[in-house]
Amino acid sequence: MKTIINTVNAPAPIGPYNQAVVAGDFVFISGQVAINPATGELVLDDIKTETTLVMENIKAILTAADINFSHIVKTTIFLKDMGSFAQVNEVYGSYFTADFPARETVAVAGLPKNVNVEISVTALKS
């Protein structure tokens, strides 16, 4: 059995998927990009601002699922330019306090809407 999570506090999906799906104790959050949920506009001012909005969108979905960053067990970060790694890592790391999740970061040739960073997460409800 699965439960769909959608919130107006994060960007609406731009394709045939949901913001998140709960399956058993797992919460699978789709890749988030820097779309302002209030306006639907991309925010690509600089990589730190972009990453902050991505993390805030993830936070909104976690909140809708009644969990927080401490419940995340795995993340995947997709970067258009690996030269942005240190700045993305700085922002990303500020959202966790201990027991960091497993993670991989990969450089990709392109991302939806030509963004610079996309992050997906898997979390546990319990």
pLDDT per position as a tens digit, 38-62: 999 999 999 999 999 999 999 999 9
What is the pLDDT at residue 14?
Answer: 86
Average pLDDT estimate for 103-118: 96
Does position 2 have pLDDT exceeding 90, yes or no?
yes
Number of domains observed in the structure of the chain: 1
What is the pLDDT at residue 5?
Answer: 97
Distance CA 117, CA 97 (A): 22
Does position 126 have pLDDT exceeding 90, yes or no?
no
What is the pLDDT at residue 111?
Answer: 95
Q: Which CATH number fits the domain that encloses residue 17?
A: 3.30.1330.40
What is the pLDDT at residue 76?
Answer: 98
What is the domain range of residue 21?
2-124
